[in-house]
Amino acid sequence: MEDYVKRIEAILFTTGRFMDIEEIAKLAELGSIGFVKDAIEELKKKYENNEGSLTILEENGKFKLSIKKEFNYLTVKLLDTTEIDNSTMNTLALIAYQRPVLQSDIIKMRGNGGYDHIKLLKDQGFILTEKKGRTRIIDLAPKFYDYFDIVEDQLVSKIKELEKTKENEGGNPEIKAES
């Protein structure tokens, strides 16, 4: 059983996204869904009893190895210096808030640099675009929800929480075009 647990842990770590039992079983080359369920339960207990920063999340019958909530601030710091620059992150936040949104509306709010942001976000798989007349409709891709550990139904409420926090700190929650 320990070998199964290690295989499943490696799969969850490597993929970094929510996966259902069947997909995990297939990738782990296990024919028994029961073994996978038992192994995941063992992993959950391991991480709950461990004082480390990782945990197994479950959402709608899917599982993911993730960072515990109290360490999420570190990922935000790391994102500032890695994959997505601040300006592109602001465009992504605007898309998340307005979704689905017309590309032309994003460009009006973010300026011509928005075209580069949208291309980068699409190339990295965070957004989906679809032609609509002379513009495009932009929406969030599944990778966005997996990457930022957000449930689609809770996205708007999380954004509103952030706005309230920002207002209480005296900041302006609006995302404006940068010069």
- pLDDT on residue 68: 80
Answer left, alpha or beta for residue 111, where phi above 0 means left and psi between -120 and 50 means alpha.
Answer: left
Segment 22-46 shows an average pLDDT of 89
- pLDDT on residue 144: 86
Q: Do 55 and 68 meet the contact criterion of CB atoms below 8 Å apart?
A: yes
Q: What is the pTM of this model?
A: 0.49
Comparing C-alpha atoms, which of 33, 48, 31, 176 is closest to residue 114? 176
What single-letter DSSP state applies at residue 99?
-
Dist. CA 35–CA 21, nearest whole Å: 10
Given the structure tokens 């513009």, which residue do they identify?
A: 135
Least confident of 13-17, 71-75, 95-99: 71-75
Q: Do 32 and 11 meet the contact criterion of CB atoms below 8 Å apart?
A: no
**pLDDT tens-digit series, residues 76-119:** 655 544 567 778 888 998 898 888 999 999 999 988 999 999 99
- Domains in the chain: ranges and CATH: 2-70 (1.10.10.10), 83-168 (1.10.10.10)
- pLDDT on residue 83: 67
Model confidence band, residue 67 (pLDDT cutoffs 50, 70, 90): confident
Model confidence band, residue 57 (pLDDT cutoffs 50, 70, 90): confident
**pLDDT beyond 60 at 179:** no
**pLDDT beyond 70 at 42:** yes
**pLDDT tens-digit series, residues 132-178:** 999 999 999 988 887 777 777 677 676 667 666 666 665 544 444 44
- pLDDT on residue 40: 92
